[in-house]
Amino acid sequence: PNVCQEREEIDESQHNNETDSDGEDGGIFGSFQFSSCQQTETKYICTTKIRNNGIRKSFVVKYQCCHGFRRVKGKPGCTEVNLKSMIDTVADIGAKDFVQLVKSSGLEEKLSSSNLTLFAPSDNAVRDFTDSLQEAVEFYVPPATARRRRSAGTEGTSMREIVLGHMTPGFIDLSEMADEQVLYSDNSNSSIRINMYPNRVVTANCARVTSSNNYANTGIVHVVDRVIRPVTKTLAQLIMQDEQFRTLASMVKKADLIESLSGPGHFTLFAPTESAFEKLDPAIRTQIQSGHSCVKNLVKHHLLSHSLCSVAVTQRILTKNFGGDILKLERHLDTGKIFISDIQVVVKDIIATNGVLHVLDEVIVPDSARPLSNALSNHNMTTFLSLFKEAGLTESLDAMDNVTLFAPTDAALAEPEAMKVIEKVRENKNKLRDMLLYHTTGPEVQACDLTNNMELKSGLADQSLRVTMYSMLPLFTSLPSRMAVQCARIVSYDKKACGGVIHAVDRLLLPPTATVHEIVQSNDKYSILRKVIKGTGLEDDLMDNDPVTLLAPTDEAFQKLPEEDLKKLLEDKKLAKRTLKQHILPEAMCCSGVAATSWPFTYNVETLGSKSIQVRRDNDGAVHFGSAKVIDCDNMATNGILHSVNRVMVPHNINNGGLLQMGNPNVEVFLYGL
């Protein structure tokens, strides 16, 4: 008894005819009917789904105690309870001052005759509101036109309209509400946004609900800790109609976000004032105002895709902004002040129809809104930045858009070899510029978009950058990889800047000028290797565009061989070819990609001769391919990499020590490390 029933029929046929591809209606079950029920604290809900010959419908039946009745433990059905009038209920739960506002506004009869939900400000909330009117304190420092209208209340709003803004038709039980659900009040449909936060804080237009679901004979009362102001403007209107936000409004337009902030949604905007922008460094302010990507990055950094009321910040919270960055908000418990990224929120909780606005007295300038030169300085890449200044490229650097910069760290540029190169190119400003431009590429490439053997066109004409990636644990290839560009390891990545992204590398990048074959031909320490290669037909493999890695034995390595064996290699070109194939990898393999591992985490690579050899890094940091030790790493070529090794890996007859050509390559034995 005394149970009210609510029925809803949902026709899903048309929608599912257009989108359904699961074949449910024509499946092995044919037509069917399925019902399920669930019970909440206040309701019992049953849903029945019907599928029959293309007809798809759901019937939802909700059972709950009728208004004025409650479930009592141990008793069947719903038991009548003695409910007071709305006026008496509001007074009893600590909102007597609001009752006086209701009466003085001529709305007492409405409360007694209409079924409605009331968000009643507590007595303290009403007194604070009254004091604020007497002291002429607005939500934020208002424009001149608003100051002239203070006498009318809140920018021309009457007290009756304010009271009506706390009423909404029907019975709204907060336990059945969802986060970001919007209600419409009796004040010309001024909105009331309900937010529910993880710390069990519930708000109505950012006013904290301190007591909920107080039932009266004609409605439900929720107590809030502040007076709810009428809400009729969008976030876009708030900033565009106030001179305090003139610069911000201009930037929102440039960022193409005015339309988003003008329509429906759930946003939070941290809004810097004009004085906040005046505090910016002039160079940064100019860059932000002139650069489209800088503007967009800056605005997105101040914008959230959800409504965040100040009351939700109890101590310290982290949230994600429009740009995907993490923002830290913190409340100082001794003062109650709220800071975002160490910048104070000077005015909180200005409610719009599509979100909430908080006023800042400083601008949050993320790296993504700073010039590339500024970002380099902030990330302690000052030596690399000084080279751009020396080459007269700072302005060009900051003017770049949609660019990726591979920036050597200060430690990398302090290495003796790097310092030697820098001193040499300083003698010719054009060469210095070419070297710096080689560290740039376009478009912007995040670390997650990099792939193995990816070629990026550099800022230096006709030169490319090759990306290589290696698994840190070979048996678990899904784990994060070690990344390198031109064999320089990427030690940190995705440092955002205005117009691009910065990846820090552990060495200076130098554009290669020769193929692997040309490096061998031009270097005196490979004179024997040149003779072994000649006539084998492998010259083309070492000159092709496809990336290769050559493990190049030096003359000293060849001289370790017995004289007879070396003679056979020089004379027998078939044996020489088979031997050399064990020194060629059909991929770019950097020393920087070889991590120190221990058993059972071994790493093997396949050679051009289809043999698998182990790659490892020993305790001293040296890299080994098989048992050949690399003595000079990562000599970059236009078509791959050359490593100098200290040993020759040759087919060997273990019994007599002589070189042997075996007819069956599947039973050939290799001894690494003669």
Q: For 87-126, how does the pLDDT look when each residue is reduced to its tens digit (9 = 90+)? A: 999 999 999 999 999 999 999 999 999 999 999 999 999 9
- Let me know whether 107 and 164 are in one domain: yes
Q: 492 versus 293: which is more confidently predicted?
A: 492
- Let me know whether 253 and 353 are in one domain: yes
DSSP H helical ranges for 516-630: 516-522, 527-533, 555-558, 563-571, 573-581
CA 212 – CA 274 distance, rounded (Å): 40
The predicted pLDDT at position 14 comes to: 57
DSSP H helical ranges for 572-664: 573-581
For residue 229, tell me if it sits in a domain.
no
- Let me know whether 241 and 342 are in one domain: yes
Cβ(569)–Cβ(659) below 8 Å: yes
Average pLDDT over residues 615-631: 91
| CA distance readout (Å), 305 to 256, 320, 344 | 16, 8, 21
Q: What does the pLDDT look like over 387-418, one tens digit per residue?
A: 999 999 998 998 888 899 999 999 999 999 99
**Structural tokens at position 570:** 């020089």
Q: What does 58-96 look like in DSSP terms, one character per residue? A: EEEEEEEEPTTEE--TTSSS-EE--PPPHHHHHHHTT-H
| Strand 548-553 relative to strand 500-505, pairing | unpaired
Least confident span in 219-233, 406-420, 590-604: 590-604
Chain-centre distance for alpha carbon 208 = 31
For residue 454, tell me if it sits in a domain.
yes
Residues 6+ apart with CB under 8 A from 91: 99
Average pLDDT over residues 419-423: 95
The predicted pLDDT at position 459 comes to: 93
For residue 511, tell me if it sits in a domain.
no
Model confidence, pTM: 0.72
CA 419 – CA 184 distance, rounded (Å): 69
Given a cut of 50, is residue 460 above it in pLDDT? yes
For residue 65, tell me if it sits in a domain.
yes
- Let me know whether 192 and 258 are in one domain: no
**Structural tokens at position 45:** 């809900």
CA 372 – CA 493 distance, rounded (Å): 14
The predicted pLDDT at position 41 comes to: 67
Query: Sign of torsion, CA 426 430 431 435?
Result: positive
pLDDT-derived band at 220 (thresholds 50, 70, 90) equals very high
For residue 167, tell me if it sits in a domain.
yes
- Let me know whether 241 and 336 are in one domain: yes
**Structural tokens at position 378:** 């902030």
CA 415 – CA 421 distance, rounded (Å): 10
Q: DSSP 3-state assignment of 12?
A: coil
Cβ(604)–Cβ(612) below 8 Å: yes
Question: Pick from 364, 392, 417: which residue ends a domain?
Answer: 364
The predicted pLDDT at position 597 comes to: 67
Q: Tell me which residue range forms the domain holding 472.
A: 370-505
Average pLDDT over residues 327-337: 94
- Let me know whether 455 and 546 are in one domain: no
Query: Sign of torsion, CA 228 230 232 235?
Result: negative
Name which of 211, 214, 198, 207 is nearest 165 in CA terms.
Answer: 207
pLDDT-derived band at 30 (thresholds 50, 70, 90) equals low
Question: Pick from 16, 48, 80: which residue ends a domain?
Answer: 80
Rg (CA), the chain: 37
For residue 230, tell me if it sits in a domain.
no
CA 347 – CA 132 distance, rounded (Å): 14
- Let me know whether 659 and 628 are in one domain: yes
- Let me know whether 634 and 491 are in one domain: no
CA 191 – CA 91 distance, rounded (Å): 25
Given a cut of 90, is residue 151 above it in pLDDT? no
The predicted pLDDT at position 655 comes to: 35
- Let me know whether 353 and 402 are in one domain: no
CATH code of the domain covering residue 154: 2.30.180.10
Residues 6+ apart with CB under 8 A from 442: 400, 402, 403, 404, 457, 459
Name which of 120, 86, 128 is nearest 101 in CA terms.
Answer: 120
Name which of 433, 435, 439 is nearest 391 in CA terms.
Answer: 433
The predicted pLDDT at position 291 comes to: 65
- Let me know whether 545 and 653 are in one domain: yes
Q: What does the pLDDT look like over 34-77, one tens digit per residue?
A: 889 988 767 788 999 888 877 888 999 988 888 778 777 777 77
Given a cut of 90, is residue 517 above it in pLDDT? yes
Q: 153 versus 404: which is more confidently predicted?
A: 404
For residue 465, tell me if it sits in a domain.
yes
Domain count across the chain: 5
**Structural tokens at position 141:** 């420092």
Q: 499 versus 416: which is more confidently predicted?
A: 416
Given a cut of 70, is residue 568 above it in pLDDT? yes
- Let me know whether 39 and 109 are in one domain: no
Which runs of E-coded beta strand occur in 87-240?
Answer: 116-121, 167-169, 181-184, 191-196, 202-204, 207-216, 219-224
Question: Pick from 461, 478, 505: which residue ends a domain?
Answer: 505
- Let me know whether 259 and 350 are in one domain: yes
pLDDT-derived band at 486 (thresholds 50, 70, 90) equals very high
Average pLDDT over residues 257-268: 95
For residue 339, tell me if it sits in a domain.
yes
Name which of 540, 615, 538 is nearest 581 in CA terms.
Answer: 538
The predicted pLDDT at position 43 comes to: 78
DSSP H helical ranges for 83-234: 86-92, 96-104, 108-113, 123-134, 144-147, 159-164
Cβ(367)–Cβ(497) below 8 Å: yes
